[in-house]
Amino acid sequence: MWQKGEPIAELNTDDNEGAQCISTDGTFLLYTVCNREGVLGTCDIFFSKNKRIKWQPARNFAPISSDRWDSQPSLSADGRTIFLLPTEQVV
């Protein structure tokens, strides 16, 4: 049953963040962070793991972050593939 969402205190900031997706088992979260310290390009993908019902501090997902605009992460149903919008010629 759906219920009203609440901010994730360990992750929410006043910065430009969004375009999140969560793994089907609820243990892994990917989201976009833009224009702040720790971002390699304009926007990067950050991730957090949920351990014992507590989200861990988010970190830049360096293996897929570039010096360009990285955004809109989506996970495949099995959690083994990450899809992103292309970084070329973003308007």
The per-residue pLDDT for range 29-85, each reduced to its tens digit, is 999 999 888 888 889 999 999 998 899 999 998 888 888 888 899 999 998 999 887
Kindly state whether residue 58 falls inside one of the protein's structural domains. Answer: yes
Indicate whether 85 belongs to any domain: no
Q: Which pLDDT score is estimated for 52?
A: 85
| pTM given for the model | 0.82
Flag whether 44 is in a domain. Answer: yes
Compute the distance between CA of residue 21 and CA of residue 29 in angstroms, rounded to an integer: 6
Q: Would residue 65 count as lying in a domain?
A: yes
Overall number of domains in the chain: 1
Residue 83 lies in a domain: no
Does residue 34 belong to any structural domain of this protein?
A: yes
- pLDDT of 91 reads 47
Residue 26 lies in a domain: yes
Q: What is the mean pLDDT of residues 3-24?
A: 87
Q: Which two tokens stand for residue 50?
A: 């949920």
List the domain range (segments joined by +) for residue 49: 18-73
